Amino acid sequence: MDHSAGGFDLQECHKGQRTWAEVNLDHLVHNLQVIRKMLPEKTQVLAVVKADAYGHGDRHVAAELEKQGVGFFGVSNLDEAVALRAAGIRGEILIFGYTPAASCRVLADQRITQAVYSLSYARALSREAALAGCRVQVHNKLDTGMGRIGFACAGGTACIEELRTVYQLPGLQVTGTFTHLSHSDSRDDDAQAFTQQQRALFMAAVAALQKEGLDTGVLHIQNSAGILLHPDWNYDMARAGIILYGQNPAPECAGMADLRPVLELKSCVSMVKTVAEGTPISYGRTTVTTRETRVATIPVGYADGYPRILSRRASVLISGRRAPILGNICMDQMMVDVTDIPGVQEGDLVTLFGTDGPETITLDELAELAGTISYELTCMLSLRVPRVYIRNGQVVGQVQYNNPQALLASEVTDGSRLRR
């Protein structure tokens, strides 16, 4: 393959890989533009790139979004935040979850903002910051109905008293206040009433703090579903997660915005053979052919992150047509029925989700078959699946997690070199 700055042909990429995930940067930028147009002009977008950007590859995704003017990123933990800094990401980074208080020096030195969600945690972080002689920027996280981490806002004045104390703690600087909506992805009347209740609790707490002259900093409440269903909420920032990647927060949100899927999973046919009627296929002989059948084997399995529960339920695309999965999906391989697809041969392109010609297999379709959500499917993609970054039909970067020496100098979206 030609790894020059000009990129290389996708067909060459196909020849060089067993299985890979294509990340369409043009679609990523398109989705960002759609989100920005939905929101008030003053509302900035926080790009959620936790969990390796939902399986899309956090460093390449963040680099592309930063190039497009995104200045705030959300991650789950300190390791993710430090990795972004090591990759050259300069924007603000907010850690949503737990960071050991003893890591306060790293937070301060790396300019990473930490969510503070309880008084005990805030005090621990303050103590460590005082010992280290540093100051950590924090966003106060309020629990308005998620029942997860956060200062409980439904319990009277205790929440305000605790938040007031946080402002007095040495070594901490409050630069933001936020909450998380638990049921905003449903258009059901009861769910939307609960969402409005969460918003009311949040605003009451913010108003109480501001009345005392306390700076609540950047205010943010909307997640992806909140952006879609309540784009006119006029906050300082909105957290765009799954919609950045062109997926719906829930099936009932489909069609609410012109989103384009960013990720496609591809592979190739490794073998084709014809078997007689009555031939058992795969472990447990769960499929027995009912006719003479052409069986294609594909080098993808549950170890690659393709769920075994899709055995005998899902299909893949070959030559723009659906090929049903036969038998149980194996750790590293699966078999599909190509009897009705003429001319299938070894090396042919396979699309596990994405578009091939007139046919598309969506993540929502697979999620419904698997009894899960699209988020889980993208996050399940394993480290042995390379991520290949596409712009204008050309490969502009690649990450091979299981081969750290491969393509270490692959082009990042701004033309710089990605550090690992």
Q: What does the block give as tokens for 141?
A: 């996280």
CA-based nearest residue to 180, from 250, 107, 117: 117
50, 302, 375, 389: the catalytic one is: 50
CB 390 within 8 A of CB 28: no
- Dihedral angle, C-alpha 210, 214, 215, 218, nearest 10 °: -60
Distance in angstroms (rounded) separating the CA atoms of residues 356 and 337: 17
Q: In the chain, what is the straight-line distance between the N-terminal and C-terminal CA atoms, in Å?
A: 22
Tell me if residue 37 is catalytic: no
Residue 204 phi, psi (nearest 5): -65, -40
Residues β-bridged to residue 178: 141, 220
Q: How far apart (Å, rounded) are the C-alpha atoms in residues 46 and 223?
A: 10
Q: Torsion angle of alpha carbons 333, 336, 339, 341, nearest 10°?
A: -100
- Cα torsion 170, 90, 220, 367: sign: negative
Count of CB atoms situated within 10 Å of the CB of 3:
15
Contact 246, 27 (CB under 8 A): yes
Backbone phi, psi, residue 363, to 5° = -65, -35
Please tell me the number of Cα atoms within 13 Å of 398 on its side-chain side. Answer: 29
Name which of 350, 373, 371 is nearest 300 in CA terms.
Answer: 350
Q: Which two tokens stand for residue 60?
A: 């390449």
Residue from 15, 37, 273, 283 carrying the catalytic annotation: 283
User: What is the rounded CA–CA span in Å between residue 146 and residue 166?
Assistant: 21
Within 178-329, residue ranges assigned H as helices are 189-211, 224-229
Q: What is the four-CA torsion angle of 165, 170, 176, 182, rounded to 10 degrees?
A: -50
167 a catalytic residue: no
The candidate with the shortest Cα–Cα distance to 343, out of 317, 360, 318, 361, is 318
In this structure, what token pair is assigned to residue 53?
Answer: 């950007």
Which residues are catalytically annotated?
50, 283
